[in-house]
Chain A
Amino acid sequence: MTLEIKEMSKAYGGLTVVDRVSITMEDADIIGVIGPNGAGKSTLFSLVTGFLDGNGGDVVLDGKPLGNASAVERAQAGMVRTFQVPREFAHMTVRENLMAAAPGQGGENLITTFFRPASVARQEKEIAGKVEETIRFLKLGVVADTPAGRLSGGQKKLLELGRALMTGAKLIMLDEPFAGVNPVLIEELSQKIRELNARGIGFLIIEHDLGALSKLVSKLYVMDRGKLIASGEPAAVLSDAAVREAYIGGGAN
């Protein structure tokens, strides 16, 4: 799935938070977006995924401009995001979280719930099977029946990734997947992303942790104060003077 972000912009009153940012992404690629706090990365994510209305710009997915498509429609088109602060369904178990993410469930309306219980049960069984696979893949078996609200930060990030996988997304956008995650798990998470990428799923990743990210991505974009200030191969970008200035001057962690 190819993604083209064209001249995305967002302003609050006089303050431009995202200023004509353009990013292109090939099918099944892994791209990183970095930048100091307040650079507008998360806002850009929200714009691309339709969680915020922008002031100009467009997103083209597989050659089709998305225009005013809603967040739901964008997700249905195969582009699924995670959140910087994980948004697990806190009162539901990990298994239920994953079940809920499966697309096209016939049982998700009241008519079938009451009048076609047999077909619903059949589909539930199918979905449960896929959920087991996902749990195994993400090694979440120990906590499968724990309410998601009680998971650790890293486990929640894994769960969000799992939910995105359950939707059958072709392009997954991860918002700071490594933040607050211990180094061992970061390595494991990176490994999973590579494996998934090998199966044809593209990733667009926002990150602070340059070390882990630069090993993962094929291309890095750097944002500062709403603007793209650099892009290219990770190594080249990281040695760029403007980037170093933005990071050190911007007081990154």
Chain B
Amino acid sequence: MDAYLIAIAIVSGIYLLLALGLNLQFGLTGLINFGHVGFFCVGAYTSAILSTNGVPVAWSLLAAALVGMLAAWPLGVISIRLREDYFAIASLGFSEIVRLVATSEGWLTNGVQGIAGIPRIFSGVTGQSQAIAMLAIVTVFCVLAILAMRRIVRSPFGRMIEAIRDNEEAVKSLGKDPAGFKMQVLLLGSMLAGLSGALYAHYIGYISPDQFIPFITFQIWMAIIMGGVGRISGTVAGVIILMVFLEGSRFLRDIAPFIPEVAMASIRLGAIGLALMLFTIYRPQGLMGDYTKR
């Protein structure tokens, strides 16, 4: 049981890093990024390629964060000034391109075969202590990211991005260019996604292009929308809900064996869909409540 809980905690942490980035982008700034998984993918591949070629994991993690951030640059340059839903579509397309590149450029990514045997972090220890060490690393990154988010929220920068979320036109009317702020937010969020991807790669040990489908992005969306957009506590709550939901459905099967597993999978997808709809309609502020300052 322990190892299973630790595994869930590690994956939750990896999701939390993704969700914090997305919350910064959407929850705080109003930037609709449907291509988050693209940067996750870039980070995973960067770290996997470097570490399987002998670069120490500490460096490859750093590189993953940087490359994840750099990958967002061209997307930002091209589409950050587009209206919000156009940016959403552009980013979705961008993540699909990333996946195609990972699929097609075999010389770099080993193509459809994927990269196997990615070294674990702390390769010296094994078994349970390895898992605990991994959990510790993930936790440290999550705590750092949360602290960074808190600082941003309380800073003039945070004030400005929230102003952009509330009313972009009004920000322009004050002589401040929203594009610059959005760009920084996109880069930082993508950096977190890149780091998250690297941790994922080292944890799972094997990556291939078909792991980086847009569905991952929408799971994270579901998490931040259910938890409460624009609030860090909401993001954390959302990720926990997502994991309970994804993993809990496995246990549901044990108490409700009359539901065939094949139906279970569809039910899971349907429930994510339903949650997205119901929360947008009836509880748009999410579980943890409105982000209005009190």
Contact = CB atoms under 8 A, between A and B. Distances in A.
- In their complex, do chains A and B touch, with some C-beta pair under 8 Å? yes
Interface of A: 49, 51, 70-76, 80-83, 87-93, 96-97, 99-101, 103, 105, 107-110, 112-114, 117, 120, 123-124, 147, 149, 163-164, 166-167
Contact of B167 (A89, A99, A108, A113): A89
A157 B291 CA distance: 23
B148 to A, nearest CB: 7
Given A91-B293, A114-B151, A71 B157 contact: no
A70 B173 CA distance: 10
Contacts of A107: 155-157
Contacts of B283: none
Contacts of A76: 175
A194 B151 CA distance: 41
Interface in B256-294: 290-294
A72 B170 contact: no
Contact of B292 (A100, A110, A123, A147): A147
Contacts of A124: 156
B163 A89 contact: yes
B151 A91 contact: no
Given A72-B176, A92-B293, A100-B163, A87 B169 contact: yes
Contacts of A110: 152, 157, 184, 188
Interface string B148-165: 100110011111101101
Contact of B181 (A88, A108, A164): A108
Say what secondary structure dominates the interface of chain B. Answer: helix
A90 B167 contact: yes
B166 interface: yes
10 closest Cβ contacts across the A-B interface?
Answer: A75-B175, A107-B156, A87-B170, A89-B166, A76-B175, A87-B167, A113-B155, A91-B292, A72-B177, A89-B163
B172 interface: yes
Contact of A93 (B155, B177, B184, B293): B293
Nearest to B161: A108
Contact of A99 (B148, B157, B159, B166): B159
Contacts of A166: 174
B293 A108 contact: no
A99 B174 contact: no
Given A91-B291, A100-B163, A75 B174 contact: yes
